[in-house]
């Protein structure tokens, strides 16, 4: 059965950096909402996540493990992922990888990233909003493993 490694954390917490390292280590693809946005800059936001779910389902149906790189900060968002991916594949395992970092460090990282014209701009104050909404994952959500990384 294929595995989804679900990245969880606020912007600037190191999710994408960790996902890239894990992708190289395990030789598996990263599916990310940001990558889909970059591939389809003309798309409305409403089209982005259906495409993300479709791509995840495609790989999982082929029994290929994936890394899902998005904030995934609440149980509702994580449940929406499961519900939508199950439209494409009935069964898969999930591992949560939670990136924990000081919110002010994350804001600094986002500000630095915003200086790069090739990166998607994120208003730094949004990091505080995400931090307030972050709810740690629980095995009751279907995770067989929850890994916490202090970053």
Q: Quote the CA–CA distance of 100 and 51 in Å, as a whole number.
A: 28
pLDDT in tens, the chain (151 residues): 999 999 999 999 999 999 999 999 999 999 999 899 989 989 998 999 999 999 999 999 999 999 999 999 999 999 999 999 999 999 999 999 999 999 999 999 999 999 998 888 999 999 999 999 999 999 999 999 999 999 8
Residue 100: CATH number of its domain: 3.40.50.300
Q: Which tokens sit at 109? A: 């990282």
Query: Domain total for the chain?
Result: 1
Largest CA distance in the chain: 42
Q: Residue 59: phi, psi to the nearest 5?
A: -65, -45
Parent domain of 32:
3-150
- In angstroms, the Cα distances linking 59 to 49, 68, 145 are 15, 11, 20
Return d(Cα 107, Cα 124) in angstroms, integer.
6
Say which DSSP state 43 is in.
Answer: S
What pLDDT does 102 receive?
98
This prediction's pTM: 0.94
């Amino acid at each position: 059965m294929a595995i989804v490694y679900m990245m969880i954390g606020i912007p600037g917490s190191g999710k994408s950096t960790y996902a890239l390292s894990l992708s190289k280590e395990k030789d598996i693809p990263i599916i990310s909402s940001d990558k889909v946005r970059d591939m389809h800059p003309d798309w409305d936001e409403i089209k982005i996540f259906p495409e993300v779910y479709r791509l995840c389902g495609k790989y999982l149906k082929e029994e290929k493990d994936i890394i899902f790189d998005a904030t995934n900060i609440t149980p509702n968002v994580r449940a929406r992922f499961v519900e939508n991916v199950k439209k494409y594949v009935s069964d898969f395992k999930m591992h949560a990888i939670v990136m924990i970092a000081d919110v002010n460090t994350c804001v600094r990282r986002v500000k630095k990233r915003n200086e790069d014209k090739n990166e998607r701009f994120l208003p730094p104050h949004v990091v505080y909003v995400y931090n307030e909404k972050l709810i740690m994952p629980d095995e009751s959500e279907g995770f067989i493993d929850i890994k916490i990384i202090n970053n």
